[in-house]
Amino acid sequence: MRVHEIKTSDLKLVFEEGGPKGGKPVILVHGWPDSPRTWDKVLPALHAAGYRTIVPYLRGYGLSEFRSHLFGRNPRRTGQPVAFAQDVIDLADALKLKTFDFVGHDWGSSTGYALAALFPKRLQRMVVLSSVFRPGAAKAPPLPQAQAYWYQWFLCTDPGMKEFRRDPVAYGKRMWDTWSPEGWYSPADLEEAAKSWTGKDFAEVVLHSYRSRWGHSPLDPNYAVLQARFEGTVTLDVPTLFLHGLEDRCGLPESSDGMGRYFTNGYQRILIDGVGHFPQRENPTLVAEEILRHLRERAA
């Protein structure tokens, strides 16, 4: 993988690039708590099929940093999906990609939904994993899902915020230990991913993401226009494949029931037996096959 960086108004955004340079571009975005390493066992199949892959570190993760020193500015450590979507568009613009395919997991899925709502002409096809789309501002979920979201409510308390800042790696490990069937990852897998959770901006981006979602931190006014457009979007027009593990203990499988009504240009949901919240890590062969099948439908 080739490592590069671009500079936006707020970020030094680092990304990894692989596959043939002239291949069809696919941008793959990781979630929380994770890193670009989440795609490592999926990428070889995409490269062999002729795809050029572009895998950024989300803002605040790993090598991607805020440019706090510029002109005395101190950009907000915004964790809203619309900010992630704008980062992806800034990356695509820097690479001169008029259009691209998109694959996202967890926060990456939320990024994809924001892209499809705000920049639909830039996306060819989209594959999203584990996290659902619901139009409008966030609403309290049914009680079983609310219980699974305990970690979000915890971060909305002052003691929870303090504890997360103290040890974000231990917090992320707890998610890995409880969101999927036992034994799905190795200590080396966790250690490698956790390298992206120790930067100076990581905790603040995560806290803003969840606290702003539920009204405990203000939304970033710099993204007010995009946020309003995103919350006003009822349906998405990008052909979409949704992959969901039947053993997902974070986004419960039933949370994606009926989601197809929000997609107007083709939608398929695939439920994967024996897999929890990280399908691309737990069953990368199947995930790679389904990604390629969906992307190839464009030419059919």
Per-residue pLDDT tens over the stretch 144-200: 999 999 999 999 999 999 999 999 999 999 999 999 999 999 999 999 999 999 988
- Has residue 72 got a pLDDT over 60? no
Q: Is there a contact between 52 and 179 (Cβ–Cβ < 8 Å)? A: no
| Per-residue confidence (pLDDT) for residue 75, from 0 to 100 | 80
| Per-residue confidence (pLDDT) for residue 297, from 0 to 100 | 87
- Has residue 222 got a pLDDT over 70? yes
What is the spatial distance between Cα 155 and Cα 210, in angstroms, rounded to a whole number? Answer: 7
Please give the average per-residue pLDDT across 237-250, as a whole number. 98
pLDDT band at 108; cut points 50, 70, 90:
very high
Q: Which of these ranges, 50-64, 68-82, 263-277, has the smallest mean pLDDT? A: 68-82
21-49 exposure pattern, b = at least 16 Cβ within 10 A, e = fewer: eeebbbbbbbbbbbbbbbbbbbbebbbeb
Please give the class, per CATH, of domain 2-299: alpha beta
Q: Is there a contact between 106 and 245 (Cβ–Cβ < 8 Å)? A: no
Please give the average per-residue pLDDT across 271-285, as a whole number. 98
**Residue 263: how many CB atoms within 10 A of its CB?**
20
One-letter amino acid of 254: E
18 φ, ψ to 5°?
-150, 175
**In 49-149, which ranges are continuous DSSP H helix?**
81-94, 107-118, 143-148
* pTM (2 d.p.): 0.96
Q: Is there a contact between 39 and 108 (Cβ–Cβ < 8 Å)? A: no
3-state secondary structure of 4: strand
Based on its alpha-carbon atoms, the radius of gyration of the chain, rounded to whole angstroms, reads 18
- Has residue 277 got a pLDDT over 70? yes
What's the distance, Cα to Cα, between the start and end of the chain in Å? 30
Each domain of the chain, given as residue ranges in start order, spans: 2-299
| Per-residue confidence (pLDDT) for residue 76, from 0 to 100 | 87
- Has residue 300 got a pLDDT over 60? no
Which residues have a Cβ under 8 Å from the Cβ of 258 and sit 6 or more positions away?
Answer: none
Q: Quote the mean pLDDT of the chain.
A: 95
